[in-house]
Chains A and B, each alone.
Chain A
């Protein structure tokens, strides 16, 4: 027992994914701490645990997604709760500063990090906080984390869901499902940019392509077009807008369907096409612009994903990434686009922990030596 314990990494257990826009942090809070352990536990460690678990917001921009917490999870022989925390990548210097102030390096833990920031901030961690990062590939982590969370489930419920009747706004409903036999799947990770992977097994996958039109583009354009400052604000506006005031539809050009090519009149012919006209530019609302931006980016991702799925001969398309957080406009649109353009051949699947799989994967790397699911 003691031997195994020795193999276990020292607490605290963190996994971190430093993306272009957001840092995703998962923290395993052990709930099976023995009295002996409690006594041995250094003050430092206690204070970290208390700080993280008793707050839902950290500083001005850090947030704990309480609703995503995985409770009573067994990892590496320990039982605990997995917490999901995010803050903007811009706040990384402050985070590293905090690591130094709290003397994190004295805990002798390994900090497993993935995402581009693991490389970008490696030196600062070392110089500022005397911390060595264990850098991990973001796609490896993403897949490993995703498969793990899907396997353990979401506190007794399935992690995965899809939309029933995606082509009908009235009867379109979210339905839970399981990824029982997940391979092959096309995995579309929408962060600041987009990566598309064909996954054949946990260790066998390839990056098919990617696009720079992602969540960062949505937010960046919205900020420029509407003066908004946050993703939440942008989504809020988008939910109230009407993109058909901005986009030119097939029927705006042909008066109806373009039958020669089987295009519906309601299909978008030209994103932002109406904005070529000065009168229309002068009369448009910010909400309409935000909606059009969201629809444009989402449709484009859907279109590329669909082409990749056809090229790779994969029918299951799983969308993840923080772009989909609180973003039912996009999830429903993706579900519709996959279904409509493939004539029902493709199914879009989504996961509740959208953007956290990389961080979970990084944590699992920490526990890898003794991990025994």
Chain B
């Protein structure tokens, strides 16, 4: 009773083989492509390749100041450099396009090292000869199930929000699951023409524990016989319109009502097709298709539950062509699982389920490169997203939309391996984002509007950041189109890339900017702002040192908050800043809300400071310029003076005007040259600058640089400080840590302020001590 074999291709339509593809947009980066893999199913082909992408990055380099260059010189120089990063490309298209695609690849394939192509899927043998002839590569066949599992492990580990629960009638149909680094063990129920039930225990250990011959092929074959409808998706459409109760014998048809004694409700199906055992009656195609769909979904759900129970597994993923993004089947399977387990087991589905085979085949071929030792990230710019205009869509819909039936997934190899912050109280329940815009329609509406409004400004800034490049305007325009298109897609399908959040909107924008070689539109602004702010550092420190201890503590907090007001989003303050930063800084302090703040646990914090110093503080910093130099550094200086070690965590790559690790290295050196406390901190290794592994204006504490996690552990970090709206409010506002934490931010968006019950420039100062530790108190608000 196996499955595995995909459906024979009797459905592929004859299509014009001479069709011209928009190749640049589909088979991207083919010039450097190597390591091909292909998964040919009954109707769809999935191609994978590894390639390198050359794109521009902004690097900062310190000038040699020992030469005593003229005052007024810039602190550091910015240079654009070419960097090569690795990217995985996955493309899905109908089998009818296979020849055209192979021709295209042949014409553009430059890399001569490539000798073989890994292949899997039921159709692999059928197209073997064609592939070998067209590409001149040897087809190397891999076991289908092995590929499937390998691919599944890979996406579960590397793609946040890969798995979701489907709830047809909920506000948001898709409820995405947080990535749990511990993905094993799980059950994979692959519903192809038959059903295979596989228990996966580790990367290399899996076992087919069962299966059933009643699967997608049964629905298709029996459905075609009963309804004279040929295509699978047409059958599903029929089913979605039918009423099964006219064909099925329900409990109430036998009992007249419910079977109370056993708790079986009257609407339960007692006998599938039980009413069709008569020659006197005709049944509608829709009703028969619906009855068949229920019969098969319930049967598979029941078997899956029996196996899950027997092997004591609670995570059950469903895949295969029967499921593949079809809301109808996801709904019936979910219903069945809920019924048979009384809600104890949830049916889980995968966003990239269609790609598992090809990902796995690719990984088999790339074993020597050890792709599993890296972390990978979904590139939102290059990926189509769930339920895009993909080949899975039925041809009628597609014809109307007029787009090419290609679906893409791109994954970037991250430079660093990403892991959990060891100080998360419960990594498995940690959700970085404060508001899920997939579920909150009002908030979604606002933020989509907001990002669309801001697009002009972003485009202008991008162009301005590359004054020497005449084609920058053209590229910026392409960026605008791409990002606007993404926003439109997200308006229609908020679930396209997992849960929609402010973070994902920001990240998508960064990915799109990078795509068009605008790696750091704020580089020049950051540079200027850092230059200016640095000049006032000593004066700021001096005036702080003149205060009494208690005054000073408050002034330090005020300084961090005021510094955080300076954001190039807030145009009004940036003008002031450029003309007179010192005045601007003082002005910003006055602009701050008076205490008590919107969230105010300052008193508890002050009490805490009267106690023993912390062992080590981890500080996630935010913006360049005034924020880091006049706000954060004096605060750090005070911590060091108290005897607390400080780890400053900054972004690995640029995002907005956030200070990057590269910039911070230079800034800190400059400050150390003026300030003995900072200098001693660096020299004595009590002040560390570590990169976070992120290039986002927000912060996901479950995906941090492994080195940072190591340092945090080694130094016995007992205080985590998170600063700024992106990191402390859009994300991590509710993050529970196992040590003391301090979240500081000024709300610089009036809509958000309003929502949180405050006003523009309201202050959030949230000091928390985990339960069970002394000093338990924290400011809390609940967004109304």
Contacts and interface: CB of A to CB of B under 8 A. Distances in A.
Interface of A: 19-21, 115-117, 119-122, 137, 139, 191-193, 207, 209, 211-217, 219-225, 227-229, 246-248, 250, 252-254, 258, 260-261, 263, 267-279, 281, 289, 296, 299-300, 303-304, 307-308, 310-311
A interface majority secondary structure: helix
Given A212-B248, A258-B4, A273-B193, A137 B274 contact: no
A261 to B, nearest CB: 4
Interface stretch (B163-171, B209-217, B548-556): B209-217
A20 B221 contact: no
Interface string B200-211: 000000001010
A193 B257 CA distance: 16
B469 interface: no
19 contacts: A20-B249, A117-B254, A192-B249, A212-B270, A217-B295, A220-B277, A221-B276, A223-B277, A224-B273, A224-B276, A248-B193, A254-B4, A261-B196, A270-B221, A273-B217, A273-B221, A276-B224, A300-B214, A307-B210
Contacts of B222: 221, 271-272, 275
A193 B254 CA distance: 11
Contacts of A219: 277
Contacts of A254: 2, 4-5
A247 B145 CA distance: 21
B256 interface: yes
B43 to A, nearest CB: 11
A163 B194 CA distance: 29
B19 interface: no
B271 A220 contact: yes
Residue from A191, A217, A247, A304 with most neighbouring chain B CB atoms (10 Å):
A217
A216 B273 contact: yes
Interface residues of B, number: 67
B5 A269 contact: yes
B5 A296 contact: no
Q: Which 4 A-B pairs have the closest CB atoms?
A: A275-B221, A253-B5, A220-B273, A116-B254
A216 B215 contact: no
A278 B221 CA distance: 9
B127 to A, nearest CB: 16
B255 A116 contact: yes
Contacts of A273: 193-194, 213, 217-218, 221
Nearest to B256: A120
Contact of A299 (B213, B248, B251): B213
Contacts of B276: 220-221, 223-224
B8 A225 contact: no
Nearest to A118: B255
Interface in B257-286: 257, 259, 261-262, 269-279, 283
B271 A229 contact: no
B126 interface: no
A272 B194 CA distance: 10
Nearest to A254: B5
A143 B774 CA distance: 63
Interface stretch (B306-314, B327-335, B425-433): B306-314
A224 B135 CA distance: 49
B90 interface: no
Interface of B: 1-5, 7-8, 10, 122, 143, 145-146, 192-194, 196, 208, 210, 212-218, 220-222, 224-226, 230, 247-249, 251, 253-257, 259, 261-262, 269-279, 283, 288, 295, 298-299, 302-303, 306-307, 309-310, 340
Contacts of A271: 194, 213-215, 217-218, 221-222
A213 B299 contact: yes
Contacts of B299: 211, 213, 300
B285 to A, nearest CB: 11
A209 B310 CA distance: 14
B254 to A, nearest CB: 3
A61 to B, nearest CB: 13
B770 to A, nearest CB: 41
B303 A303 contact: yes
A225 B225 contact: yes
Given A267-B2, A300-B212, 11 more contacts: A116-B251, A192-B270, A209-B302, A213-B214, A220-B272, A222-B277, A224-B283, A269-B5, A271-B215, A272-B221, A272-B222
Given A253-B122, A307-B306, A20 B274 contact: yes
A263 B226 CA distance: 30
A276 B217 contact: yes
A300 B59 CA distance: 64
B269 A212 contact: yes
Contacts of B272: 212-214, 216-217, 220
B293 to A, nearest CB: 13
A217 B273 contact: yes
B217 A216 contact: no
B311 to A, nearest CB: 10
A39 B5 CA distance: 75
A216 B218 contact: no
B1 A269 contact: yes
B220 to A, nearest CB: 5
B271 A212 contact: yes
Contact of B225 (A192, A193, A272): A272
Contacts of B262: 139, 207
A228 B276 CA distance: 11
Nearest to A220: B273
A156 to B, nearest CB: 36
A223 to B, nearest CB: 5
Given A137-B261, A311-B310, A274 B221 contact: yes
A194 B452 CA distance: 57
Given A192-B249, A269-B1, A310 B310 contact: yes
Contacts of A272: 217-218, 220-222, 225
B247 to A, nearest CB: 7
A270 B307 contact: no
Contact of B145 (A191, A212, A261, A307): A261
A312 to B, nearest CB: 10
A93 to B, nearest CB: 14
